[in-house]
Structure 1
Amino acid sequence: MSIIDSPERYGSISRFFHWSIAALVLWQLVTATTTVLFEDSWLDKLTWATHKPVGLLILILMLGRVAWALLNQRRRPSSLNLPSHLGHLALYALLVVIPSIALMRQYGSGRAFAPFGIELMSGFDGDKIEWMMLPANLLHGWLGWALFAMALGHVLMAVHHRMNPRQQDVLPRMLDVSARK
């Protein structure tokens, strides 16, 4: 398997970004769902403690993924159509915007933030910075649920393309599976 992308399939670095981020987004769905269904339970406390650090990890991986996609822009498989291209752009945008506005809220709240034991924000005394908190207060949750819905649609479309003989099978681009005959 090649490290770089080709017109036929994504290379190992693109696959690493894709599947790592997919696993982390799935975990974020678990943490958010647990908070909604079992708020203040031991399970909520256990899973929610990972939500912010995992969000930061998603942002870091997404910035790498975007940079890698731009470097491989001319080599990677082309989009099937305009809706597919726009859907992927929307997924990329949400995966950058959602954790970015959460980080703004974290800073604006004045609370410390030390994901994985690394101090990123020491926190501060005094008034909160409301304008930094507002975007996430208004949008973080809604955009997160929209991301989960779009990710499910992404999976369903890939399965649809795999199962429908009139469609181009796109799974071999991202998995080590052979194309449908």
Structure 2
Amino acid sequence: MLWDNQDRYGAVTRTLHWGIAALMAWQFGGMLSESLLGDEAPLAVALTANHTQVGTILFVLIVLRVVWAAVNRDRRPPRRAGLLGHAARLGHVALYALMLAVPSAALLRAWGGERGFAPFGFQIFAPRAPDQVVKTATDIGSNFHGELAWVMGVLILGHIAMALFHQVVLRDRLLRRMAG
């Protein structure tokens, strides 16, 4: 079943969710390995060599996920009532906002900077000459891309912890609805 329904999430939602999760794990694995092992460590180099390409794919999948969630808004399994339901809603809104903000900051930095942006060899933003750099754009991107990504990482860990809480403590089969 492609569409979400009252009992579980459909194949498109599940594929987008787990695909984004896998690519996020790749990106965070690269950033963690750089932080812990250094930029030149073989693992860090291997995991970060394609950071821009993976980030581009992630951004496209995230936009598709947001659109798909909006289209399925009235079909989705009901949320828990009360404080847990409100917390889940706020947590998801924060995650979606950060999933859009983090790559947007990188895009803004690329648009205003000297490196440009050409994922997979397709030029989106041409590199700027040093005297044509849009400093405000590069500053926003440089100051927020990484920092917001770490905040998102903390929220993702909270998301995982709450999914496990639902499964182990509440035993409400929440993971089954997302796992298929």
Runs of 4+ off more than 4 Å: none
Where does 1:95-110 land on structure 2 (aligned, <5 Å)?
A: 95-110=99-114
Could you tell me which residue of structure 1 aligns to residue 69 of structure 2?
A: 69
CA distance in 2, matches of 1:117, 1:46: 20
List gaps (5 residues or longer) in structure 2.
Answer: none
- Pick aligned residue for 2:178 from 152, 174, 177: 174
CA distance in 1, matches of 2:138, 2:79: 36
**Amino acid paired to 2:70:** L
Name the % identity.
36
Deviation at 1:169, TM superposition (A): 2.6
In terms of mean alpha carbon deviation, does 50-59 or 85-94 score higher?
Answer: 50-59
Deviation at 1:40, TM superposition (A): 2.6
Where does 1:48-87 land on structure 2 (aligned, <5 Å)?
A: 48-80=48-80, 81-87=85-91
Could you tell me which residue of structure 2 aligns to residue 179 of structure 1?
A: none
- Pick aligned residue for 2:137 from 129, 132, 136: 132
**Amino acid paired to 1:86:** L
CA contact (8 A) 2:27 2:47 kept: no
Deviation at 1:156, TM superposition (A): 1.2
Could you tell me which residue of structure 2 aligns to residue 91 of structure 1?
A: 95
Deviation at 1:142, TM superposition (A): 1.6
CA distance in 1, matches of 2:5, 2:127: 45
Once superposed, what is the RMSD of the aligned Cα atoms? 1.4
Aligned residues: 174
Could you tell me which residue of structure 2 aligns to residue 156 of structure 1?
A: 161
Deviation at 1:16, TM superposition (A): 1.0
List gaps (5 residues or longer) in structure 1.
Answer: 177-181
Q: Which has the higher contact order (CA 8 A, sep 6+)?
A: 2
CA distance in 2, matches of 1:172, 1:46: 34
